[in-house]
Copies of this chain bind each other. A is one copy, B any other.
């Protein structure tokens, strides 16, 4: 379904700006170590998948997975581009993006470089766009601390 065939109109374009901002706010609050602000970008019954055995169901569980980020990393930088939006209806959009993430660790280990994709389900909840589901797939990496990743499924 292409954007032109949808003839989405002005409200759709304004929604798309807000959805992109959500994507960028996630990266920002992650890099700034703002776990509280991060969690608020998700709906209550969210699902977050960072790996086949690493993630969370529900906002409360997700908050727990974020507890360590402040001390585990010296700093991180998340660069998100190639944003493609696929609206399912006026209040739900599936989002595909490309990620380049750089991490510097507190422990003595080399910086890591992660090349991946986010596959998200974003929904409008009380007038605000929020993550319903966020899945990180990894194309490849160098020295990433997460050992088991969801692959992108390259043919």
Contacts and interface: CB of A to CB of B under 8 A. Distances in A.
A140 interface: yes
B152 A31 contact: yes
Contacts of A125: none
Judged by DSSP, the binding face of A is mixed
Contacts of A16: 17
A79 interface: yes
A21 B2 contact: yes
A140 B75 contact: yes
A15 to B, nearest CB: 7
A154 B75 contact: yes
In the complex, the count of this chain's copies comes to: 3
B140 A21 contact: no
A56 interface: no
Nearest to A7: B14
Contacts of A68: none
Contact of A34 (B98, B116, B155): B155
A102 B101 CA distance: 13
Given A98-B77, A140-B77, A3 B32 contact: no
Interface of A: 2-5, 7-10, 13-18, 21, 23-25, 27-28, 31-34, 70, 74-84, 96, 98, 100, 102, 104, 111, 113, 115-116, 127-129, 139-140, 142, 152-155
Q: 4 closest A-B pairs (Cβ-Cβ)?
A: A77-B115, A24-B82, A33-B155, A75-B140
